[in-house]
Amino acid sequence: MAFAFETSMPARLNKSGEYVLCGRRRCHIRFAIYNPSRGQRCYVLSGWHYDDRLGVWVASRHAERRVALGLQPADRRAFARTTLRRPIEPPARFRCPKCGTVSEVTAETLRRAASVGTL
């Protein structure tokens, strides 16, 4: 499924401040884990890969099928869920497989979340 996008909206954190979510309020797809104790770094969850052509992180086909079933994106291999988390530096853009919105994780978003507690 192809999505056309020109602008992105800021990503948000869940209530506990642990996961980076899609920017749309009614969409709860998780992109990354936010760990403020490690210098405000985000780690991409399994099921995501970087598309050089688009310049955004996109879900794998398997992850898109899981979203269609109402589940969170993930890899097929169980070990990949914990061992293959890659750190990302803001700004990073993610395309949501559920709603097609491009959400941007910025340093300002993470800083604001750390000062307030959560978004």
Q: Is residue 17 part of a domain?
A: yes
pLDDT band at 42 (very low <50, low <70, confident <90, very high): confident
d(CA 81, CA 48): 11
> Does the pTM exceed 0.85?
no
d(CA 104, CA 34): 14
Residue type (1 letter), 68:
A
Q: Is residue 2 part of a domain?
A: no
- 83 pLDDT more than 60: no
Rounded alpha-carbon distances, angstroms, from residue 53 to 49, 58, 81, 119: 12, 11, 25, 31
Q: Is residue 52 part of a domain?
A: yes
Q: Is residue 3 part of a domain?
A: no
Please give the average per-residue pLDDT across 65-87, as a whole number: 70
Assigned token pair, 14: 């869940």
Domain interval for residue 64: 9-116
Query: How many structural domains comprise the chain?
Result: 1
pLDDT digits (tens, 9 = 90+) for 54-72: 899 998 888 888 888 887 7
